[in-house]
Amino acid sequence: MREYLLTLCITAAVTYLLTGPVRKFAIVAGAMPEIRARDVHREPTPRLGGIAMFFGLCAGLLVADHLTNLSQVFETSNEPRALLSGAALIWLIGVLDDKFEIDALIKLGGQMIAAGVMVVQGLTILWLPIPGVGSVALSQGQGTLLTVALVVITINAVNFVDGLDGLAAGMVCIAAAAFFLYAYRIWYSYGVEAAAPATLFSAILMGMCLGFLPHNMHPARIFMGDSGSMLIGLVLAAGAISVTGQVDPDALNLYVGSEKEAVHQTVPVYIPLLLPLTIIAVPAADLILAIVRRTWRGQSPFAADRGHLHHRLLEIGHSHSRAVLIMYFWSALIAFGALAYSVNSASMWIVLGVVFLSAIGLLLLLLPRFTPRAPRWMERFVPPRYRRRVSVSALSPEASTPASAAVAPGVSGVAGVSGVNGATAIGPRSRLADRRKAGTR
């Protein structure tokens, strides 16, 4: 565990320290696109944050290669090299897109090529654990198609959810934390060494996200761009592919009693292949809804709009920070709920706990519709949104005087009156008109 923590900290430190210089480079390079209709930020913000995240990934792999226990992952498996090759390719495509806005189909083709590069080097799904059946071996063609599909879906799910400051990095960090705990349990509790690469990938992914988040929290100083969102999506998919397609459920038989029970223990891993990813179910649901919505309107599935889940949270009245925290909450609930179920699926308390937390999540989701109002004696101590609005009739007679009576003839009443919580005030133009009128008398 200490070596994983060391790798995580170094990855986070390198990413954090490089993000500042990368921001300056992005400004000089002109990677600051104009604000689009679907954007929620108000000022042009540099992108290319994925550059710092990629070098954090390289630093994490380099450090792990020189540690006593983690170096065995590089000696017994080619998966770290396969990950680095695919990550370098997808990162390069993302950098070009952040600067030159390349076509969506070209990006899709690049994602498939990056997945194919990893498959060629051995990072592929070899079999699937199916409950009640056992492990089902896949042919080379089936494994390749399933691996490429999983990588492409995960990359685009993370890319689609990257719409608010700190949202994508935080949600992926939560998913990586849950996946790290699961893979670590398989490796050290069951002694299955094939889960070691997935454990390492998850630790490095957490470091990449944690190192970038301080620069990306609202208000963000830099965006990760496609170079970052596609990169962390690929790393997350690589961990799922490694632990799902490489760990044979038969290897767990000695620890859990039978093959069916062994397959049952891998529920949180094979379910991500079907959903496609339980650990990022919220981005995956956003991806599916976006494709259906745009196709229904006759648009391209890759056409950008303001219909994502985080946009809807803003529309119903949530603030930027609260919308991000709500998305964090649901991601953590699904990811760690699946993790707890894999540890003890027979416990009813886990199900009741998930149901209770889901009810709390729904309450938080609908909070803007039930905004409480503080008593009058507490209004000076609470934010303005919790204060009662003062009606015009409750004001003094002078303040409730009609605006037309206070504005001189020939002067627009709109220009001379400004409303504050239903009150009316005399503007500069109306006072000037009064002085002129007095002078004519």
pLDDT digits (tens, 9 = 90+) for 218-258: 788 898 989 999 999 999 999 888 877 666 655 555 455 54
Confidence of residue 394 (pLDDT cuts 50, 70, 90): very low
Q: How much is the pLDDT for 139? A: 85
Q: How much is the pLDDT for 194? A: 76
Q: How many CB atoms lie within 10 A of CB 187?
A: 20
The more confident residue out of 372 and 344 is 344
Q: Worst-scoring range by mean pLDDT, 107-116, 292-301, 330-339? A: 292-301
Confidence of residue 88 (pLDDT cuts 50, 70, 90): very high
Is residue 109 scored above 90 in pLDDT? yes
Cα gap 417→425, rounded to integer Å: 5
Confidence of residue 289 (pLDDT cuts 50, 70, 90): confident
Q: What is the mean pLDDT of residues 67-78?
A: 88
The more confident residue out of 232 and 333 is 232
pLDDT tens column, 14-46: 999 999 999 999 999 888 766 655 555 567 788
Is residue 111 scored above 80 in pLDDT? yes
Q: How much is the pLDDT for 209? A: 95
Q: What is the mean pLDDT of residues 282-306?
A: 69
Q: How much is the pLDDT for 164? A: 78
The more confident residue out of 293 and 39 is 293
Q: If you average pLDDT over every residue of the chain, what do you get?
A: 75
Q: Worst-scoring range by mean pLDDT, 105-119, 239-253, 372-386, 422-436? A: 422-436
Confidence of residue 350 (pLDDT cuts 50, 70, 90): confident
The more confident residue out of 423 and 388 is 388
Q: How many CB atoms lie within 10 A of CB 260?
A: 16
The more confident residue out of 188 and 353 is 353
Give the distance from CA 195 to its chain's centroid. 25
Q: How much is the pLDDT for 204? A: 95
Q: How much is the pLDDT for 53? A: 96
Q: Which range is most confident: 160-164, 196-200, 278-282?
A: 196-200
- From the list 133, 321, 140, 158, the residue with the least C-alpha distance to 231 is 158
Q: How much is the pLDDT for 207? A: 95
Is residue 100 scored above 70 in pLDDT? yes
pLDDT tens column, 183-212: 888 777 766 777 888 899 999 999 999 999
Q: How much is the pLDDT for 409? A: 42
Q: What is the mean pLDDT of residues 262-279?
A: 48
Contact 225, 215 (CB under 8 A): no
Cα gap 155→382, rounded to integer Å: 42
